[in-house]
Structure formats: C-alpha cells, structure tokens
Structure 1
Amino acid sequence: MNSGPAAKPLLSLRGVTAYYGAIIALRGVDLDIREGEIVTLIGANGAGKTTLMMTIFGNPRARDGEIRFAGEDITRLDTHKIARLGLAQSPEGRRIFPRMSVYENLQMGAGVDGGGHFSEDLERIFAIFPRLKERAGQRGGTLSGGEQQMLAIARALMSRPRLLLLDEPSLGLAPLVVKQIFEVVRDLNRREGLTVFLVEQNAFHALSLADRAHVMVNGAITLSGAGRELLARPEVRAAYLEGGA
C-alpha cells in the first residue's frame, strides 16, 4: 500500500549518526517512511542495519541528527516512551520470553498500550497466526523457529502500533516459512494499512515486498529507490542476489 510521494513522513531521520565506543556505526543517515508504506533496508552483515533500527528506539542513542515520529522529536526519548507513541519492534533473533507461554508473551506485548483491548486483539492475532492459537499454552522456548518468529511479530502487533519495525524476520527459517511470514506482512499492510520498516538480508523477498528500499553499506545509505526498481538493478543483483558479498 503506497501512500504516494506527497504524504508527510510518519518517521523521519535526518543526519543520524551513532557510535559503539569510538567506532562509528551510522554515518549521517537520512530516511523517511510515510504512513501506509513498506520500506525496506538491505545490506551485508555488519552494514549497520540493525544498529539503525535500534537507534530509532534509542539504544544506542543517536550522537548527531534528529529522529521524528508523527511530527514529534524522539531523538532523546526513553525507549518505553517511544513504544507508547505507536512504534513496535520485532527484533533480530526474535527475543521472545522462552519460559513464558505464548499467551503470556502476547500479554507482555499488549501491556505497552495498557492492554485495554486485549481480548479483541488476541482474537485478531489468532486469526492472523492460527498456529499460535494452537500453541497458546505452550512455552515460547519450545516452539519451532518459524513459530517463534510468528510470536515475535504477534507480540509487537498486540501494542497496536502505527509503525512496525521488523529486523531480519527470515533469519534461520525454512523457505516455506519465510514465504508465509512475508505474506502476513503484505496482508497487514494492504488490509489494515500498517506501516512497516523492514530490515532484511533476504534481498529478493524484501525488495519484492517493499514500496521503497534503501541499500546500506558501512553505516551509510548508498542507494535508494522503488523496491522493484532496485531489484532490477544489476549492481544490487550482483551484490545481494547472486552470491555476492
């Protein structure tokens, strides 16, 4: 669902830098995400993709530049306050609560907005991910990798976000499960208008899904364009789709 070039950005980054100690991880990143879009960021391991997503949430904190969400400057806000504004993240490696049940993990996600619509949202989540309904009483740590990824996304959705940040949702999953995950993301965007920022190494799936896309190299965005446009570019195909680095 592309909201069109004239739409005001829901999320806007200008000149954002971030460091790990003395090492610069992000180099003056400019990026906009408009309401209703799927925007993807691709790049090699260590390019800074996950750092960018974490910096949006304030950990690490941006050293320079500005991050605005829905018009509000969130550059210096605490992470829990950022979440309450309507951002939710499904992090790299899933990071579910392994000793808690599926149901309890979903309760944790709902707690961000006070949990006032828990029953309604739980029904919605179980319609999106029927497997989680079957596993509701099962500990998160005993789920398959694909089920854990579904749970991580579902937990983020329980907070009713305006913007969903997805970090490497295909990592370590079988191709069929990856296809299912990306179909869910596409459906949420088209049916509910959910805005999505996707960080992903699987360039083919990410670029096929995205309205707009960016390539990150060494902490800087080096290439931007429509998802399908980047998918067709020879340098992108050589680097990310044909066994390149």
Structure 2
Amino acid sequence: MSEKEPLLKIRGIETHYGKIIALRGVDLDVHEGEIVTMIGANGAGKSTLMMTICGTPQASTGTIQYAGEEITRMPTHEIMRKSISQSPEGRRIFPRMTVLENLQMGAECAGHKDFSGDLKKVFDLFPRLKERQQQRGGTLSGGEQQMLAIARALMSRPRLLLLDEPSLGLAPIIVKQIFEAIAELNRSDGLTVFLVEQNAYHALKLAHRGYVMVNGAITMSGTGKELLAREDVKAAYLEGGRH
C-alpha cells in the first residue's frame, strides 16, 4: 500500500510459554491509515501476538518496530505511552467505576488535552454510552461494555488502535454497530487499526489487508477482498459466519 516504512513492523517473532511455542516466525506489517485484520481459530495465537506487541509476554526472538523504533524489549507501560492503545480480549473495563470514570482513566495517557472534545467524539460514536455515563461499568450489557472498552482506548488519542476480539460473544446487531464505528474512525480520522478476530466475515470485509494464523504461524495474507474470495478461507472460517 505504501513504500514508507510500516507504522508497525513485525519480523521473525517467536513467543514461548515455557517450552510451548505460541508464535512461530511471525512477519506482519501495518501501515499508517490501514485497517489490518488477523483471523484464525480459537487458540491459533492471535491474542498472544497482540499481547507480545504490548510487551507481555516478550518475544523470545525477532523484532517489533513501531514508528521506526524498536519496542521488542520495552516494558509494557513504556510501549503504551507511545500512542498505542489496546482494547483487550474480554473487555477488562473497571466494573466498579462509572462509564465516565472509565473514560477518564483512558484519557490519562493523553494528558486531558481536550477531554470534553474527546468525550463528545466517543459519545457521538457510541450514543448508548452517553445515556449510561453515570452507570457502573459492571452493570452494562456485554455490548455496552465492549463499546466502553473501545471508547476508553480512544480517549488516549492513539495513533495505533489494537483491538482483540471486539465481537466475541455479542449479538449480531451489536457486532455490526461496533464494526461500523471502527470503519468510521478509520475513514474520518485516518486511525490505524490492527484487529484480531474470530468473526472472519466482518473482519475481512472491514479490512484493507488481512492475515490468516494457524498454530502460531501466518499461512496466508492478502487484501480483505482477496481473502474473502478464497475457497479455503471460506471453508475454514466463513461457513455460517455471515451475520
């Protein structure tokens, strides 16, 4: 897509859990302004890659560069100060805090440069959160919690947004809303997004480019359209998945 260096450049990454190899020589690029998705079955290693980018666990071998700087061995808190924001698998909001307080926590990394403007932006994106802003996070529905997790990540004004299984366990109508919000952020703000997903149909439809991961290794890559059209991808990941 671009001859410039990728915003996120991953080369030869291996990650171990003890003696188990979770990632096997992963190469991956995410260019500025792209939505890139990685699909794969549960347990393929997608979330491990996301966590390895964020420094926990650290890669055993290989390199991860962000905006031209190597971050492979950096501690997580330093990586997350580099305008990278993550909405993790399982949402992990602060359940005892209100929606507003969760969003304030997200804004801490941005130094509250324009808190009210940023707040308006996420409320425009997810109107349900505006209605629920004084409600405790733990009392929200699963879909509302996912919206809150993404909104909290956006409050830090990221240059790169990492989304780990944003559609997991949600009703199709909520999944559609969340994917539309991601597309709008990319279209209007040029936000760069790296998304890992089991919901291959929605993820590849959304993405400029995609990768397929099997047993910790990337087995295929291409544009979202190319991967959607492949018979082997359809057979493995898309049967019955067109919600």
TM-score tier (shorter): over 0.9
- TM-superposed deviation, 1:115: 2.3
The one-character-per-residue Cα deviations of 1:62-110 (angstroms, maximum 9, x if unpaired) are: 1100000000110111111111111100001100010100001001111
- TM-superposed deviation, 1:207: 0.6
Counterpart among 210, 213, 218 of residue 207 in structure 2: 210
- Name the counterpart of 1:219: 216
- Name the counterpart of 2:84: 87
- Name the counterpart of 1:66: 63
Is the aligned partner of 1:49 residue 2:46?
yes
Counterpart Cα distance in 2 of 1:127 and 1:187: 11
Paired residues of 1:88 and 1:161 also in contact (CA < 8 A): yes
Aligned pairs (5 A) from 1:33-182: 33-182=30-179
Counterpart Cα distance in 2 of 1:110 and 1:76: 26
Counterpart Cα distance in 2 of 1:77 and 1:8: 20
**TM-score between the two structures when normalised by the length of structure 1:** 0.96
4+ residue runs of structure 1 moved beyond 3 angstroms?
none
**TM-score between the two structures when normalised by the length of structure 2:** 0.97
Paired residues of 2:5 and 2:68 also in contact (CA < 8 A): no
- TM-superposed deviation, 1:116: 2.7
Aligned pairs (5 A) from 1:3-42: 4-42=1-39
Aligned-partner SS, 1:52: helix
Aligned-partner SS, 1:9: coil
Aligned residues: 241
Paired residues of 1:18 and 1:64 also in contact (CA < 8 A): yes
Aligned residue type for 1:136: Q
Aligned residue type for 2:49: L
Counterpart among 161, 185, 188 of residue 188 in structure 1: 185
Aligned-partner SS, 1:123: helix
Counterpart Cα distance in 2 of 1:7 and 1:169: 29
Aligned residue type for 1:166: L
Counterpart Cα distance in 2 of 1:236 and 1:6: 28
- TM-superposed deviation, 1:112: 1.6
- TM-superposed deviation, 1:243: 5.8
Counterpart Cα distance in 2 of 1:135 and 1:141: 12
Counterpart among 216, 231, 234 of residue 231 in structure 2: 234
Aligned residue type for 2:154: L
Paired residues of 1:19 and 1:25 also in contact (CA < 8 A): yes
RMSD: 1.1
- TM-superposed deviation, 1:130: 1.1
Counterpart Cα distance in 2 of 1:37 and 1:121: 22
Counterpart Cα distance in 2 of 1:124 and 1:241: 33
Distance 1:180 1:35, change over 3 A: same
